[in-house]
Amino acid sequence: MTTETITLTNAEGPMDAFLARLEGTGPFSAVVVVQEAFGVNDHIRDVCRRFAGEGYVALAPELFHRAGRGIVLPYDQFEAVRPYLSALSNESIEQDLAVSLDHLRERADVDPRRVAVLGFCIGGFVAFLGACRLDPGAVVSFYGGGIVRPRAEGAIKPLLGEAGKIRAPILCFFGAEDRGIPPGDVEAIEVGLDRLKTPHEVVVYPGAGHGFFCDQRAAYHAESARDAWRRTLDWLGKYLPAPARPNMRRAQDGGGTKR
User: Which residues are marked as active site?
Assistant: 121, 178, 210
d(CA 212, CA 15): 28
The residue type found at 83 is P
d(CA 39, CA 172): 21
Q: Which residues of 222-259 are buried (b: 16+ CB within 10 A; e: fewer)?
A: ebbbbbbbbbbbebbbebbebeeeeeeeebeebebeee
CA angle (223 as vertex; 218, 226 as ends), nearest 5: 100
Return the half-sphere exposure (C-beta side, CA atoms, 13 A cut-off) of residue 28: 22
Is the distance from CB of 32 to CB of 100 less than 8 angstroms?
yes
177's CB contacts (< 8 A; 6+ apart) are 207, 208, 209
> Which residue spans within 62-137 are E strands per DSSP?
110-120
